[in-house]
Structure 1
């Protein structure tokens, strides 16, 4: 993992006191460290654009090479050469994995639904490489997607029932580490409250309409009668005074 350290160990029995031990890196076999136990000299080459600056240590007794605070820049092939009576060599392949982010689970729908029986979810991670993103139901794998060397964003959908009581989790992993995010269905999936709409038949609708009209007409008749009665009383009072 990035930030860790790694020690590449040669076979000590093959190193003589007066042998030169050389460590090289990359396809061009660039020299990064050299050691001679007989004279107790160890030199580190920091000329590779500072890639290994303050990160390399060579053990004067064993010839082992330690890379500290390792990053993905240090992944690759390391070549050990032992120069003496005979030329001996050994190759190390080093893989460095970035720290994994915790997956993010979000609802794939912006609104609640009263008609759909399932909730659409999305598990996402950003800027990852050499990983696999997976959905699990309990311990059973439901689906997965993988990416190789390129650093990209990944997302994986999942549909669950609103009333589902099973345990779901989204997992991102590489060969040496993993991160898990558990799903809380009640937090992300909201079903709209159903609105009961009472629908009546055609005959009942006509009857209701007629009754409403009759009630309205009766109210108007009462109002007109009341107005006329009031006016009539006023006229009688005026005649009596004269």
Structure 2
């Protein structure tokens, strides 16, 4: 009987010990479960990387081709500047340029996707600061494309249109322009969206066919940018 009681006592103590161990374990799991997960620190936003310069977006009229390397250097200086992350267009500021002293207009987009235009002295390619022409008063170029100087853009676009047309009509006989070929004004400027403009030029001319009959034509050239211009020659139905 004593042996049975001793055995029962040991079993009771063993059961109590197991209960204590399990209780401690469950309590530890509960505490761990209640502890909030450590917060991960957000990684700082990385600055937007500059897009490589696309030289297809640079254009000069044939008479200024000698300054091509300078235009490229200026575009690279603009792209390397603090604000510019992408060069959208680079071309001659025709109304301010001479063969001896070219002025380049570089259109950039910044990290906030705002578009702006800076002008540069094409002869001072040693640094951005040296080349940049300061903005002042009424001559300040607006930072939105919607406010860009249409006449200057039109002049650059029209110079390219004339080159395209000359290539297309070079085999025509007795060609005579009926419109003022020196007039750089477009017949239409359309605001596509957010200050993106589409320019359209039309110039009438006549030419003779192989039989000597005079035919009426219209030269068409249109597009938003110099490197996106398209041109064609159509039959003209008006006098």
The reply to whether TM is greater than 0.5 is no
Q: Aligning the two structures, in what range does the TM-score lie when normalised by the shorter sequence?
A: under 0.3
More strand by share: 1
TM-score scaled by structure 1? 0.19
Larger relative CO (CA 8 A, sep 6+): 1 or 2?
A: 1
More helix by share: 2
Structure of higher CA gyration radius: 1
